[in-house]
Chains A and B, each alone.
Chain A
Amino acid sequence: MRYLPLSDADRAEMLARIGIDSIDALFADIPQENRLSGDLPLPRHQGELAVERHLRALAGRNVPAASVPFFVGAGAYRHHVPATVDHLIQRSEFLTSYTPYQPEIAQGTLQMLFEFQTQVAALTGMEVANASMYDGSTAAAEAVLMAHRLTRRGKAVLSGGLHPHYAQVVRTVSSLGGHATVTLPPDVAAGEDLAAHIDDDTSCVVVQTPDVFGNLRDLRAVAEAAHARGALLVAVFTEAVSLGLVTPPGATGADIVVGEGQSIGNALNFGGPYVGLFATRTKYLRQMPGRLAGQTLDADGRRGFVLTLSAREQHIRREKATSNICTNSGLCALAFSIHATLLGSEGLRRLALVNHANAVALAEALATVGGVAVLNGTFFNEFTVRLPRAAADVVEELAGRGILAGVPVSRLLPDAGLDDLLLVASTELNTADDRAALADGLREVL
């Protein structure tokens, strides 16, 4: 077995050193009647070639985004990632290192996390960010719990424009922890009156921009309304590239900003692993969940970095910790950070601009298709269209013609009566040919 260096002779010699005859002696504490005698009914070991063949065959049964005109978004976005990013994250010392518990030999990871935190704070317009969370949805749930702690209240108001998966995660975590949530109805036109739902029990209002239907939302009014009642504003985004072009939540009064960082540096990966971004105001720092890298000095007076403020965390505070989280999403955060460094402000602005331009061009192209209505007043790189019949059927038919047209709203909200709505995303990867293919495809199937 190529991964196991011990030979039988080694094993015999080692058993002798230990002073036993058989490996079984080391497993003696396992109840005899439960010990397995033979191998489990699973395949035996295989060479690299066989494993590769097997998994290639499975991969071959999927339709990769690059192989078709592709307009699927709704919380995960396909972008061009420079080849350098994947090369660098596969450096052994990044890939195969652990959480930096020994800072003297983990400065690479720690400095990178410090840079990442600074990048996320700048991007979101906030004062401080953590070293990343599992993904955007779990970050949203953690943000709500943090707001509960800060306000000593227990009710979150969720916008009807929040990604339904995010809303479900928040509701699951909240209800299991004994907290209340109020979820507003799906808000396709971004017209809901959030302020009317804030009361003295409300810890936070959770609003996404661009929202799940693609609308950009001005958070100023809801921030003011929340603050007037002693509640916090949690701002959510699922498309980090939008921050290159759109006013960041930090500039419009958000107290906690969480989002999905996948679209910078990370592939679609069928939904994970992704990287949750989490930022807040310095005054709320001590209630922020997750790992934090901080700057300090070493014994020789040189600048260095460590994990800090860890007394908030589970390994010290146990049942009183701010969260049970142990890990972050280090390697995905590294990919994010490298891509953001390659882009810089200027590259990110241009990337966002191209995304927006392509989406505007797509909206214009689809508006010419009979029976298709673009519903958004504003959007970044994704918007909602109304079709004359069920969007899920249309998407399936177009998939049969080699076009992945977008996400039917019914996939996310099966019981909302919004079966005729389709979410369509366009990034820098979409060409004029792609747009024409989608418009023509719709003309054919509708």
Chain B
Amino acid sequence: MTDIRYTKDHEYIRIDDGAVATVGISDHAQSALGDVVFVELPEIGRVLKAGEEAAVVESVKAASEIFAPASGKVVAINTALEENPAIVNEDPFGNGWFFKIELADAGELAQLLDEAAYTDYIRDLA
């Protein structure tokens, strides 16, 4: 799991192969949100800047924007979430991914938190 990085807003980004990376929300995030009931995904082909609002996730009690962890073009979205948003709670790192982007600059990921740093970060939040 060395290729996974996190933002302080609890998105994760994982490099799949070369220039394409998968974006989702962390296990901590799905747990804090509670039962996810709706996910709004970006359009395929949209070019995102790092930090830009890219998606929305709603639970019964909360709504949260999902920001692009890195710049790039959206190349795939997980349409299964539209039908069954519960996957986000059940399998956030696997089938509960949100979208994939073609990274503009893989170097941006170096600014994000790695696994250990994120674990420390959420422990400090609690």
- CB atoms of A and B under 8 A apart anywhere in the complex? yes
Distance in angstroms from A423 CB to nearest chain B CB is: 45
Distance in angstroms from B117 CB to nearest chain A CB is: 29
B80 interface contact, C-beta 8 A: no
Interface residues as binary, A299-312 with B (CB distance below 8 Å gives 1, 0 otherwise): 00000000001111
Distance in angstroms from B56 CB to nearest chain A CB is: 8
In the complex, which residue of chain A has the Cβ closest to the Cβ of B61? A316
Interface residues as binary, A306-325 with B (CB distance below 8 Å gives 1, 0 otherwise): 00011110001100100000
In the complex, which residue of chain A has the Cβ closest to the Cβ of B57? A311
Chain B residues with CB under 8 Å of A310's CB are: 60
B62 interface contact, C-beta 8 A: yes
Interface residues as binary, A279-300 with B (CB distance below 8 Å gives 1, 0 otherwise): 0000000100000000000000
- Check B63–A320 contact: CB distance below 8 A: yes
Complex Cα gap A19–B61 (Å):
40
Distance in angstroms from A230 CB to nearest chain B CB is: 15
- Check B38–A286 contact: CB distance below 8 A: yes
The A/B interface has a contact count, at CB < 8 Å, of 19
Complex Cα gap A316–B60 (Å):
10
- Chain A interface, DSSP helix/strand/loop, else mixed: helix
- Give the contacts of A191-221 with B (CB-CB under 8 A): none
Complex Cα gap A286–B58 (Å):
11
Interface residues as binary, B50-76 with A (CB distance below 8 Å gives 1, 0 otherwise): 000000001111110100000000000
Identify which of B40, B59, B60, B63 contacts A317 (C-beta below 8 A): B63
* Range for the number of chain A residues in contact with chain B: under 10
Chain B residues with CB under 8 Å of A320's CB are: 63, 65
Complex Cα gap A105–B95 (Å):
39
- Chain B interface, DSSP helix/strand/loop, else mixed: strand
* Range for the number of chain B residues in contact with chain A: 10 to 19
Distance in angstroms from B43 CB to nearest chain A CB is: 11
- Check B38–A316 contact: CB distance below 8 A: no
Distance in angstroms from B81 CB to nearest chain A CB is: 14
Distance in angstroms from B65 CB to nearest chain A CB is: 8
B37 interface contact, C-beta 8 A: yes
Complex Cα gap A400–B60 (Å):
59
Chain B residues with CB under 8 Å of A317's CB are: 63
Chain A residues with CB under 8 Å of B59's CB are: 311
- Give the contacts of A45-68 with B (CB-CB under 8 A): none
In the complex, which residue of chain A has the Cβ closest to the Cβ of B53? A320
Distance in angstroms from B42 CB to nearest chain A CB is: 13
Chain A residues with CB under 8 Å of B65's CB are: 320
Chain A residues with CB under 8 Å of B38's CB are: 286, 311
Chain B residues with CB under 8 Å of A311's CB are: 37-38, 58-63
Complex Cα gap A386–B61 (Å):
57
Chain A residues with CB under 8 Å of B61's CB are: 311, 316
Complex Cα gap A312–B61 (Å):
10
Chain A residues with CB under 8 Å of B60's CB are: 310-311
Complex Cα gap A317–B63 (Å):
6
Distance in angstroms from A188 CB to nearest chain B CB is: 44
Complex Cα gap A310–B60 (Å):
7
Distance in angstroms from A289 CB to nearest chain B CB is: 15
Complex Cα gap A444–B22 (Å):
82
Complex Cα gap A343–B114 (Å):
65
Distance in angstroms from A149 CB to nearest chain B CB is: 12
Complex Cα gap A122–B14 (Å):
48
Distance in angstroms from A409 CB to nearest chain B CB is: 45
Distance in angstroms from A201 CB to nearest chain B CB is: 20
Complex Cα gap A320–B58 (Å):
12
A311-B58, A317-B63 are known; give 15 further A-B pairs, CB within 8 A. A286-B40, A309-B37, A311-B37, A311-B38, A311-B59, A311-B60, A311-B61, A311-B62, A311-B63, A312-B63, A316-B61, A316-B62, A316-B63, A320-B63, A320-B65
CB within 8 Å of A: which residues of B? 37-38, 40, 58-63, 65
Q: Could you pull out 19 A-B pairs where Cβ atoms are within 8 angstroms?
A: A286-B38, A286-B40, A309-B37, A310-B60, A311-B37, A311-B38, A311-B58, A311-B59, A311-B60, A311-B61, A311-B62, A311-B63, A312-B63, A316-B61, A316-B62, A316-B63, A317-B63, A320-B63, A320-B65
CB within 8 Å of B: which residues of A? 286, 309-312, 316-317, 320
